[in-house]
Amino acid sequence: MSERWVVPSSLRVDLRLVTPVTGAITALPLVGVFVLGLALGSTRAAISMAVGANLIAIVSLVGAPRLSIGLALCDALAMGLSVFLGSATGPYPWLHSVVLIPWCFASGMLVAFGKTQATIGTQAIIAFVVLGRFSGTPINALYLGLLVIAGALVEVAALFILRLPPSLRYQRGRLADGFEALAELVRRDPGISTHDVATTLDDVGRALSAPSLFGRTDVRDLRAALDQARRMRFELTTLNGLRVRISGEGANTVQSEITDCLHGAAAALDDIGTGLRRPREGSDWRGPASEFRDELASLERELALVESNAVVIARQCLSYLEALGGQIRAAGNLMEKSRDPGSRQAWRPHLAKRRGGDARTLRGDLAVVRANLRLDAPAFRHAVRLAIAVPASLFVASWLSLPRGYWLAFAVAVILKPDYSTLFDRGLGRVVGTLAGAALSAVVVSELHPDLVFTTVLVALMAWAVYSFWAASFSVAMGFVTALVLILLSTSLHDSVGTAVDRLIDVSLGAVIAVVVYLVWPTSPRSGVEGAQSALFSSLRQYLAAVMDVVEERPAEGSRMMDCSKATRLAWANTEAAVDRSIQEPAATRVDPSQSRGLLAAAQRIVRATQALWIDAERGATLTPFGEFDALVAGLLEGLDNLTRSFSDGAAVQMPQLRRLYLAVEQPLVVHGAASSISLHLDELVNAVDTAAHLVGLSAPV
């Protein structure tokens, strides 16, 4: 995507994503704590608690559809601690800056753990520089920090209690999205990756496992239908890989028959989605499912008459299509069962058992931190930039005698991002949103002169608008955030127009500082892409090793396969995102897009062939190990190891002669009575790994 297309993207508004009910539920606790603070006669308490509630509300929207209660509580405590440290060190400017630098660095490192954790880090900086600017004794600092924590905890509790759903309409709608995504997957080009569908199904899973559903018995059928949907994605992923290979064999008649079968499957999936979304209207999914079975019978007759190299692949397709038909029938039955009023039992609430700390989780988190403490790591560079830019912005604000210089540091903290494309996109959206929000608040406050009651109404409207438009438009949401903050501050400040102008100046200058600091020491997109590629091929190696254990009937942990599959899918998605970000970087630093796309395509072929081996092995396509087969497996694993090393440390290693190893195993596979599909999938693995090696520049010995 070129930069001329980034502007409309950052300002786009998708009205379909406006969520007025969620906005009202999220705004209610903020308004409640604001009113409580005013009732106590303290505008500072009202503003502090409202800001704490607002920041929790924002992180809940960033982490939607499911925010961990643990993360929300950590955010509340981090904000309270930040306010305490900022306020307690305020009387000593040198100490204030000394504490702020490592605080910014630690907050910046949180980007290594994900988007929600990164948002928590940013909010810790905001709490330090904005609310922590009130210098005071340790007792006063503690009081102010507790006010912020109180407002945040009210928001956490309210989000948990108020979102207990009286029905499963939202969850049914999300599951319908999943089945409609599967229908679209059936219809589209088989060469396109299925990872976007997996992401949709993961979102459905989060919606069906939200804390607000604890104790509900009427969600079980929906979760069972989701399990069927996930199995369908596996079948379709493997089937698409086989369809691509059939197209290369020129078997047009067989290919046409397979396409006809899939029309019925897509229609049945669409009807299941309709039945989930509109349970009272019913759904005629059985008609398309019956058509699908008739087309399967026609395909089977066609394969009996065809003699070509594509027959073996086509028979594999037939087996996956038959499995897909069974899963469609199971999902349709579950959809109908979930509409039965008798299945809608009410609460059976229970409390989860307390568990002690997981030492493995802590060790894993420490390992992530250690892995990112490198000069070329994006998280480390982002943390260093924050640790320099935020304190420097406070110095600039003091030097320029800006009346509200803490907003300059606030702007730098929220605009500065680990990568160029997000920095540019979000920075532009925030500046435009701030301009609109500042103008709105200035006009409203200066023309209407609201009293405390009317101000409370305006706070409620602005908060509702922020949370309702959050998913629909970042810039619009930022405009309402600006208006909300300025209206909150109008209870203690009287120059509303001057305040709005100051806010706009500070945000614009902060955006300039953030861009300059990033360009002085940018994140290397090559490092990010190469690190993601290394992780991708490492996960492919682990996935293939686990599958080969199943093929050779070795003992394996039940969850190992699913864990490897999920890790591979996430690694592929991370690599694709890293490549896309790199392509948007300045030309001098971006990676070669053709090579990166080629490696993604090769990785996708490896995933599909590996999944096909796994599914076939579960259906009985296994074998007793023998020498030639073990040699080929070892060669494939070595090849993936070499690819991993070439990305991680630039090692110029030689690849094993995979094609020669494959030719040596072809005849022994027949002698040992192995299923023909095993040879077929091994051939595809060899081609895909050799293709990846060629793109990287690795060669096999002559």
Fold match between 169-209+219-340 and 525-696?
yes
CA-nearest of 463, 551, 392 to 27 is 463
pLDDT at 4: 40
Q: Is 388 exposed, middle or buried (0-12, 13-18, 19+ CB in 10 A)?
A: middle
Q: Which residues contact 457 (CB under 8 A, 6 or more apart)?
A: 450
Report helix, strand and coil shares of the chain as percent, to nearest 5: 80, 0, 20
CA 150 to CA 671: how far, in whole Å?
A: 73
Q: What is the CATH number of domain 169-209+219-340?
A: 1.20.58.220
Asked whether the whole model's pTM tops 0.75, one would answer no
- Tell me the one-letter amino acid at 212: S
Q: What is the pLDDT of residues 425-472, one digit of tens each?
A: 777 787 888 888 888 888 888 788 888 899 999 999 999 999 999 888
pLDDT at 305: 66
Q: Which residues contact 590 (CB under 8 A, 6 or more apart)?
A: 525, 582, 583, 584
DSSP, res 216: B
pLDDT at 310: 64
CA 604 to CA 418: how far, in whole Å?
A: 27
CA-nearest of 156, 167, 175 to 213 is 167
**Spans of the chain below 70 pLDDT:** 1-11, 64-67, 162-167, 210-218, 248-252, 282-283, 305-310, 339-361, 493-497, 524-527, 558, 583-591, 651, 700-702
Q: What is the pLDDT of residues 635-690, one digit of tens each?
A: 999 999 999 998 877 767 788 999 899 999 989 998 988 888 898 889 889 999 99
Residue 347 β-bridge partners:
216
3-state secondary structure 449-489: CCCHHHHHHHHHHHHHHHHHHCCCCHHHHHHHHHHHHHHHH
Contacts 24+ apart (CB under 8 A), 359-368: 365/113, 368/112, 368/113
DSSP, res 640: H
Where do the domains of the chain lie?
Answer: 19-164+375-520, 169-209+219-340, 525-696
Distances (CA, A) of 107 to 76, 118, 124: 14, 7, 7
Q: Hey, what are 563's tokens? A: 């864990």
Q: Hey, what are 165's tokens? A: 């759903």
CA 286 to CA 684: how far, in whole Å?
A: 36
3-state secondary structure 345-358: CCECCCCCCCCCCC
pLDDT at 108: 93
Dihedral, 523, 524, 529, 534 alpha carbons, nearest 10: -100
Domain 525-696 class?
A: mainly alpha
Q: CB neighbours (10 Å) of residue 334?
A: 21
- Phi and psi at residue 216, to the nearest 5°: -80, 130
The secondary structure of 37-61 as a DSSP string is: HHHTT-HHHHHHHHHHHHHHHHHHH
- How far out from the chain centre does Cα 693 lie? 29
CA 178 to CA 196: how far, in whole Å?
A: 11
pLDDT at 548: 94
| Most distant pair of Cα atoms in the chain: their distance | 90
